[in-house]
Amino acid sequence: MYTIISHTKNKYIHYKSLVVMEVSSLSKTLILLGLLLATLTNLALVQGYQGGGGGTRVGFYKYTCPTVESIVQSAVESAVQANPTIAPGLLRMFFHDCFINGCDASILINGPSTEKSAGPNAFLRGFEVIDAAKSKLEKACPGVVSCSDILALAARDSVVLTGGHSWQVPLGRRDGLLSRGSDTANLPAFNDSIRVQIKKFADKGLDIQDLVTLVGGHTIGTAACAVFSYRLYNFNNTNRPDPDINPSFLPQLRALCPNGGNALRRVALDTGSVNSFGGSFYANLKYGRGVIESDAKLWSDPTTQRFVQRFLGYRGLHGLIFDVEFGRAMVKMGNVEVKTGKRGEIRRVCTATN
């Protein structure tokens, strides 16, 4: 009996020693794995900051150009204070850039057949602001910050300077090498039906809520009479105005854009809010005061109307807060077909490839 007990005890002691050895080995393995993971993480961060990593992220220039946001903000602020129309111009510029061949600053390249010179981009403004910011950044951080990231930041700053809420902008885009005016067919047009608008946004990975939210950027800015005056007099060859226009609003638009008058005259897209960023745009749509046809259809078409109603806080619907949703949608759009890692380049000047 004693022998058996002694034998069992020895087995127990031996087993316990093995467990201790296994636990010790496991601890060493975990420590080594931890060190390896930390090394790989640090390597990935370094590669990312140098442009060799994956997608965009907040803080991309934390170590390589920590003043990037303040430099861009300063350039935008100076320009908007001198000319308030710059704010909507920069916001539209970013939108147009992302919808053509992804957010790659191809819209900034000069040339007779580039995106910049194409018809749909003829009324864009603020190019000189991007150039000014780039010039300052090249002195502070040569060859580091892309023009496409400058444009993304400038769009955000334009919203903030006109009263909108801020959001964190993921960075790390690289600049595109091609710019073709023919590619502007991808842009949503002022007379697109809701079906066409939905398809164009879906082609960029954006859903119906994104569409209604991003078009809300028309709360600032203007449109030329040439873009919408056909709605006032002879809509669809009917010799009548567009029925989506509130009859009480029609005389106001006709006074601003008389038949045969100055086609280049600018009219606020969001009546009463031309330089103030906010949700009043949706209220104007509800009351038939949308200026361009594609905007007005957001209310007249049931597919998009429900999202407008949510922004207006309709009872029984899950409400949407415009300032919050706009920032979210801008981040999503800002990641459309971006070039990161070794794709594209960091331009020395924004108006030409290297």
Neighbours of 340 (CB within 10 A): 20
CA dist list (Å): 250 to 78, 244, 257, 259: 37, 10, 10, 13
Is there a catalytic annotation at residue 96? yes
Supply the DSSP symbol for 114.
S
The CA distance from 169 to 57, in Å, is 8
Contacts of 11 (CB under 8 A, 6+ apart): none
From the list 95, 44, 65, the residue with the least C-alpha distance to 221 is 95
* Residue type present at position 220: I
Per annotation, catalytic residue among 7, 14, 96, 318: 96
User: Residue 282 in contact with residue 307, Cβ under 8 Å?
Assistant: no
From the list 103, 84, 83, the residue with the least C-alpha distance to 93 is 103
Catalytic residues: 96
